[in-house]
Amino acid sequence: MQIGLTHYLTASGILFAIGLAGIILRRDMIIIYMCLEIMLNAANLALVAFSRYNSNLSGQVLVFFVITVAAAEVAVGLALIVALFRVKHSTKAEDITLLKF
């Protein structure tokens, strides 16, 4: 069986769904961040597959930028988690209720 674009897109969709399910199910903010990474990687996989089967390199450039922005986002997000841990002594999402009315 020839591996085509549909196979890669299906794999990417399944991976995205796993990441989304993790964000909904898990309570730990660090795990939620990991699930965000899973979803970004799923999008990257779809972009590279489209880039290959349309033979258009711009998709790969976009993936390069997505990886860069994701790295910056992880650095800022983890600094925020550490700052919150200093105040609340917890990384559970339900413990962070500073803005709750």
Nearest-approach distance from CB 101 to other proteins, in angstroms: 22
Task: Please count the residues of this chain forming the interface with other proteins, following the rule CB under 8 A.
Answer: 70
Among residue numbers 6 through 25, which ones bind other proteins (CB under 8 A)?
A: 6-11, 13-22, 24-25
Considering only 43, 51, 97, 99, the residue that binds other proteins (CB under 8 A) is: 51
d(CA 34, CA 69): 15
Task: Report the number of secondary-structure helices (H) and strands (E) in the chain.
Answer: 3, 0
88 part of the interface to other proteins, by CB under 8 A:
no
Nearest CB to other proteins, comparing residues 31 and 96: 31
Nearest CB to other proteins, comparing residues 11 and 96: 11
Q: Helix, strand, coil % (nearest 5) of the chain?
A: 80, 0, 20
Instruction: Specify burial of residue 42 (Cβ count, 10 A radius: 0-12, 13-18, 19+).
Output: buried
Measured CA distances, 32 to 39, 49, 77 (Å): 11, 26, 11
Task: List residues near other proteins by CB under 8 A.
Answer: 1-11, 13-22, 24-28, 30-31, 33-35, 37-38, 41, 44-45, 48-55, 57-58, 60-61, 63-65, 67-76, 78-83, 85-86, 91
